[in-house]
Structure 1
Amino acid sequence: MKEGKYNLLIADDEKEIRDILRLLLEGEGYELSIAENGREAIDLASDEIDLYILDVNMPELSGFMAGAEIRKRYEAPMIFLTAYSGESDKVMGFSVGADDYIVKPFSNMELLMRIKAVLRRSERGCAKGLAGKKSKLLFQDLALNLENQSVLRQDEVIPLTHTEFKILELLVTHKRKIYTLENIYQSIWEENAVGDSTIMVHIKNIRKKLGDDSRNPKYIKTAWGRGYYVEE
């Protein structure tokens, strides 16, 4: 945050989209950094950026590739814009560090709500880490550090995104409680589920990063037809 304002980086190769987003977001009081492609987005990335909004289908370097490079150095949340709504695209986006995924065309109100929700979750997570009464959660052979939102297994750091970490933290904090997809969505996003496969994609990515077999999971269990949970 710079001078009390959130700093957003927008990358889109369509000038019309960039101009619309500039008018909309500056009108809402956000500071903006504008990139015309993925390479410019990487060059403009910095610790001062509070949120990245990246178009997926950009020439030279896609939003996914740019996001993956940015995520290697910076932890600010990331939203992808795309014309495709397929699950494979969402899996790709979330796997490279996305916190949300918006399908074009979208309304101005939807975009603003998603931005505010992602920033609110990120800010709340940081505040919780700074003021947290308990800075670490232990679960089986995993150690969840609530201050820097990292997961450690022995000497191995498991790189989860902010949203993936919050889902795992939710389940570990309430062991044996079965959470439906709607329960998880409402707990993390603090709004009603949008009816897509977002949570399932996140669970799939968490399991993959933890090396968990979905058919015989060690960490996140499936209560068929009901939801997900963890045991002691």
Structure 2
Amino acid sequence: MSAAGRFPPARDDAPLVVFDFDHTLYDGDSGSHLFAWLIKRSWWRPLLALLIAPVFGPLIAFLPTRRVGISGFVWVGSIGMGGRREFDAAIDRYVAAHTDEIRHRLLPVALDVLHHHRERGDRVVIATGAPPELARAILAFVAHEDVPVVGTLVGPRLGAVGALRHCHSEMKMTMLRQAGYTAPVEVAYSDSSADLPLLKAARRPVVVNPKARRIPLFRRVLPPGTPILNWGCPGRGGDPVASAA
């Protein structure tokens, strides 16, 4: 049965629930996995990636420069693509070729929580720093979900594909509002300190699968009693949760 047949349609006035994707629903960084595959498609792309690594690699380690660092490897993986349509087609091929691997990375507890909200008729949206077609394809092809996705806007850049608007930090809130999600956020789920604008905006923030070293920050800036959970993401912090119940 399709997801549309399993869940009642969300009411326009239903509570708005926002999920991050990477390290929240998906164990890992889906964009990095995609671009590693794109780079490995040709013998010369890994060599080019090695050439730029001394410059772009260190930038990824720091939040203010991470976008620039990642963009270098995105450029290597997408050289020759004519635009978003070709890029989205490559994403669909990647997901279709890695269905089993991706299925193992989707966190069962996270999907159960997602289903719980949909069963209640809540208005659920995924907001991710990954390209929206990637999260959409993973959820549709692998998990048979039809949840709307707001993500990083990509387009032609320097003979390849690059981020035109990065759905990240404060911009994530801006892009959600511009996509029509203007109601107050009732519940937000995320692992990342970059999503503090989203978590702070939510009436009920929930931190899931955070890096252990970030937990003191979350406890300091979010309301007392904010749940900090681990939904089965190895190597991440939070109180272990065995099931959505």
Q: Same fold (TM over 0.5)?
A: no
More contact order relative to length (CA 8 Å, sep ≥ 6): 2
Greater share of residues in strand:
1
TM-score if structure 2 supplies the norm length?
0.26
Which structure's residues are more often helix, by fraction? Answer: 2
